[in-house]
Amino acid sequence: MSERQSGVRGLPDRLGRMARLLLVGVLAAGAAWAQEVRLLVTAFDEKTGEALTDLGPENFSIEDGSTPLRVLEAKYSEEPMDLMLLVDSSRIGEIVTPLVGPMIERLAEGDQMALVGFDQSATLVQDFTSSRDLLLRGWSSLRYGNNPRILDALYAVLDAGFQNTTARRVAVVLSAGVEGASRTPPGDVLQLARRRGVQIHFAYIEGADKGLFEDLAAGAGGAWFHAKKLDLRPDELAARIHQAARGRYEVRATGVSTLGNSIQVELAGLPKSIKKPVATALAIE
């Protein structure tokens, strides 16, 4: 047999190997596409602060970076939560005082709350408890002063504050509206929130640093409430914060093998009565 004949006879074998390799690659890509990812999503009307609780998969459009995801399921639930309440105790923090009592009083049966005061550091005032009396007593002991380093306080709380919790993990920050030169970058806070599975919500009075608060809430699957613009009574605002914190959608989707850090959620097909719909997401690891 000549070398020419041998090469021709070997060609089908080589083509077969190439086809098998191509098939393996296609199957691997298909497996990555088919793998499910899960997200915790908060949906709310920014104009009113009201949670949106009756949405279906068809209402959600989700992208991870530039990759669109296919939403399979969006299931809303309200469950008991372990809520870490961070209260601005800086030299400008007393303007959040009217909201603290209603936030404590709104604690529902089955929930627990811990209370942290923050200025240039975070101080645990009351560990997780279901007792409103203990929480109110702790709040009465807060002293105000120094600068509000919110990012530093959040990182410290996320790092160590939820170690023994078993319910839905939530952090709510009550801020005067100013971040006081923390050393912790926002990205570090968001990475830790994702690892700990904690959604972060913000309520702030003034809007000096509202962009930062909204970015943090958006990156951690939470809501934000600009108290001065909403112009609600403290008990009404506390009720809307609690509803956003207590309820969320668990969304199943496909399209990527692992979720990245640039998750964008859009809402569509909603009633016109919803003035400014917003949705945020936290990846479940």
Q: Render pLDDT for 221-239 as a digit per residue (tens, 0 to 9).
A: 999 999 999 999 999 999 9
Average pLDDT over residues 255-269: 94
The tokens for 92 are 């400008």
Which among 250, 8, 242 is positioned nearest to 105, based on CA atoms? 242
User: What is the pLDDT, as a whole number, of residue 16?
Assistant: 57
Residue 69 confidence (pLDDT) above 60: yes
Task: Indicate whether 66 and 22 sit together in one domain.
Answer: no
The tokens for 15 are 């083509």
Which CATH number goes with the domain that contains 61?
A: 3.40.50.410
Give the Cβ contact number of residue 14 at 10 Å: 10
Average pLDDT over residues 237-259: 96
The band of 285, judged by pLDDT with boundaries at 50, 70 and 90, is confident
H/E element holding 101?
helix 97-105
Average pLDDT over residues 62-68: 95
Distance, CA of 77 to CA of 245 (rounded, Å): 11
Average pLDDT over residues 62-84: 96
Q: Report the mean per-residue pLDDT for the chain.
A: 90
Task: Indicate whether 139 and 67 sit together in one domain.
Answer: yes
Task: Indicate whether 72 and 194 sit together in one domain.
Answer: yes
Average pLDDT over residues 199-205: 98
Handedness of CA 197, 207, 119, 140 (dihedral sign): negative
- Structural domains of the chain, count: 2
User: What is the pLDDT, as a whole number, of residue 35?
Assistant: 86
Length of the chain counted residue by residue = 285
Q: What angle do CA 254, 260, 264 make, to 5 degrees?
A: 75
The tokens for 113 are 């709350």
Distance, CA of 15 to CA of 148 (rounded, Å): 67
Task: Indicate whether 97 and 209 sit together in one domain.
Answer: yes
pLDDT digits (tens, 9 = 90+) for 150-175: 999 999 999 999 998 999 999 999 99
Which among 246, 249, 244 is positioned nearest to 224, based on CA atoms? 244
Distance, CA of 157 to CA of 234 (rounded, Å): 25
Distance, CA of 46 to CA of 51 (rounded, Å): 9
Q: Are 202 and 241 in contact (CB under 8 A)?
A: no
Task: Indicate whether 23 and 156 sit together in one domain.
Answer: no
Query: Could you tell me the residue range of the domain that residue 51 belongs to?
Result: 36-285
State what percent of residues in the chain have pLDDT above 70.
88
Average pLDDT over residues 47-54: 97
Task: Indicate whether 14 and 122 sit together in one domain.
Answer: no
The tokens for 196 are 């700990």
Average pLDDT over residues 232-258: 97
Task: Indicate whether 52 and 16 sit together in one domain.
Answer: no
State what percent of residues in the chain have pLDDT above 90.
85
Task: Indicate whether 251 and 161 sit together in one domain.
Answer: yes
Distance, CA of 204 to CA of 227 (rounded, Å): 6
How many contiguous H segments (helices) and E segments (strands) does the chain have?
8, 14
Q: Are 273 and 47 in contact (CB under 8 A)?
A: no
Task: Indicate whether 69 and 156 sit together in one domain.
Answer: yes
Q: What angle do CA 193, 226, 214 make, to 5 degrees?
A: 35
pLDDT digits (tens, 9 = 90+) for 3-41: 444 444 554 555 456 545 454 444 444 444 458 999 999
Task: Indicate whether 140 and 263 sit together in one domain.
Answer: yes
User: What is the pLDDT, as a whole number, of residue 225?
Assistant: 98
User: What is the pLDDT, as a whole number, of residue 6?
Assistant: 44
Contacts of 61 (CB under 8 A, 6+ apart): 68, 71, 265, 266, 267, 268
Q: Are 81 and 114 in contact (CB under 8 A)?
A: no
Distance, CA of 140 to CA of 137 (rounded, Å): 5
Contacts of 195 (CB under 8 A, 6+ apart): 285
User: What is the pLDDT, as a whole number, of residue 17?
Assistant: 60
Task: Indicate whether 113 and 56 sit together in one domain.
Answer: yes
Task: Indicate whether 136 and 15 sit together in one domain.
Answer: no
User: What is the pLDDT, as a whole number, of residue 98?
Assistant: 97
Indicate the SS3 state at residue 37: strand
